[in-house]
Amino acid sequence: MSFTRRQVLGGLAGLTALGLGGVGARLWLARPQVAAEHDYELIAAPLDLELVPGHQTAALAYGGRFPGVEIRGRQGDWLRVRFTNKLDQPTTIHWHGIRLPIEMDGVPYISQPPIPPGQSFVYRFKTPDAGSYWYHPHLMSSEQLGRGLVGPLIIEEREPTGFSQEKILCLKTWHIDEAGAFTPFSVPREAAREGTRGSLSTINGEHLPVIELAAGQITRLRILNLDNTVTYRLNLPGGEAKIYALDGHPVAPREFKEQYWIGPGMRLELAIRGPAVGAELSLRDGVVRLATVRGVAPTQAASAEWPAALPGNPVSEPDLAKAETLNFKFEWVGAMSEYASGQERPSLWQINGVAWQGGEEHKHNGPPLAKLKLGQSYIFTLRNMTQYQHPIHLHGMAFKVLDSNRRPIIPYFTDTYLLGKNETARVALVADNPGLWMFHCHVIDHMETGLMGTIAVGDAWCG
Ligand code: C2O
Ligand code: CU
Ligand code: CU
């Protein structure tokens, strides 16, 4: 027994129409609740931002602010977001890193029709994993994300953790000039290399901000890379910090030393001890300062002890002995000439010899790169044949990073792995979520110039 894609889309279209009227709203309220529900109204609309002092930038924003409204849910509860598109183009919302049903994944033409201007759509799903996630559109991505449609999504642990205070740092390097006007989000020459980089680094929308931390106390820092292309080489010379989670999933706490490379879409959770009152540290990208961290007098009694490790998320452990191995090759093709022949973007990158052909709107997607049996364990060998690194991201399921030929790996669960140049890494997962899941590089202009495909899970999607 399976349903066709048209029925899925039809069902969702009906839901959208229902969500628009008062009747729909009452229906939602009348629904009996088992787990608690966290409700949000979210609007995407144009917003002028003052990123460069004295100048306006014609941004797009979620909830009238940048970064977008902080959406918070709780592990195991429902999250409901009634979203309205007040942009002048279609959009969707994808919930990056959340394991949810395909109908809620926000991928146009696969999970739902694009949401036209003026329309609403109700996203409602359970959040099985605690951690730091984020949300963004999944079409016209270089422009929509580039202009500011990105926001943090925090799923709290069910039980209190040892942290009593936290800060969210959203990293973004804007593609703007000295007068705040946008510069191109993607130019073929750069898309063919590490990706088109913006020029103004910001944290929570501010260039070189001061981040105040309670002196001597421990703060949970959730660092989210919401940028289109930049991999930040994060370091904090002289700082006292430990890594507690990578991309939403907890790890055994370890010292934050030297540099951590956080690619687009990735997250890093640190426990950090606030420096002495008035003392300052530099949070840097390589040798370039991103922010000043300053110690201030504590305003609450909070712990100066390093908290215990965060509780693990209920991700299925892949059975490596029974796993089937699938190979994925990421290649550079650089066929710039095809760009002239009427394509919206050049075709520069391929996965297993195939470049994404769906365009920025995902209109035509080809056959899946792989078909997975529901419940079966798989090992993916990820082979980067290029001179550039790629944050490889999978929707719908978390995977476990096993090993790499380039660096020591302590196995951990994630949704995005930063695959270095010429690196081969192995990751494993249980194909436990039926759907057609996007599998792509999160450097937006790599993804839009070919480095994207789909993975089918379950009979209904393997066709
Ligand atoms: Cu942030 Cu297709 O994902
Ligand atoms: Cu995603
Ligand atoms: Cu890439």
Residues near ligand 1 with C-beta < 6 Å? Answer: 94, 96, 136, 138, 265, 393, 395, 438, 440, 442
Q: Which atom of ligand 1 is nearest to the CA of 96?
A: 1
Per-residue pLDDT band for 266 (boundaries 50, 70, 90) equals very high
**pLDDT of the residue at 302:** 84
Domain ranges of the chain: 5-156, 166-296, 324-457
Mean pLDDT of the chain: 90
- For residue 58 the two structure tokens come to 């014609």
- CA distances to 125, 139, 342, 344, 443 from 338, rounded to whole Å, are 41, 22, 8, 10, 21
Question: What was the pLDDT predicted at 17?
Answer: 34
* pLDDT of 9 above 80: no
pLDDT digits (tens, 9 = 90+) for 192-235: 999 999 999 999 999 999 999 999 999 999 999 999 999 999 99
458 vs 9: which has the higher pLDDT: 458
Indicate the pTM of the whole model. Answer: 0.91
- Rounded distance from Cα 95 to ligand 2 centre (Å): 6
Q: Residue 181 pLDDT > 60, yes or no?
A: yes
How much distance in Å is there from the Cα of 106 to the middle of ligand 1?
9
CA of 142 to the centre of ligand 3 (A): 13
- 8 has a pLDDT exceeding 60: no
CATH tag for 5-156 (out of 3.40.50.720, 2.60.40.420, 1.10.240.10, 2.60.40.10): 2.60.40.420
Q: Which atom of ligand 1 is nearest to the CA of 97?
A: 1
pLDDT of residue 356: 83
Q: How far, in Å, CA of 45 to CA of 68, rounded?
A: 11
Q: Relative to the CA of 452, which ligand 1 atom is closest?
A: 2
- Cα 429–434–440 angle (5° rounding)? 60
Q: Do domains 5-156 and 324-457 have the same CATH topology?
A: yes
| Atom 1 in ligand 1: residue holding the nearest Cα | 96
Q: Whose CA is nearest to atom 2 of ligand 1?
A: 438
Task: Compute the distance between CA of residue 353 and CA of residue 357 in angstroms, rounded to an integer.
Answer: 12
User: Which CA distances in Å does 398 have to 91, 152, 259, 302, 415?
Assistant: 25, 18, 24, 33, 5
Q: Which class is 166-296 in CATH?
A: mainly beta
Percentage above 90 pLDDT, the chain: 83
Return the minimum-mean-pLDDT range out of 19-28, 411-420, 437-446.
19-28
User: Burial of 335 by CB count in 10 Å (0-12 exposed, 13-18 middle, 19+ buried)?
Assistant: middle
Of 332, 354, 359, 334, nearest in space to 344 by CA: 359
324-457 has which fold?
Answer: Immunoglobulin-like (2.60.40)
Residue with CA at minimum distance from ligand 1 atom 3 = 96
Sheet of strand 435-441: strand arrangement = 370-372, 452-457, 435-441, 390-394, 416-419
Q: Is the pLDDT of residue 313 over 80?
A: yes
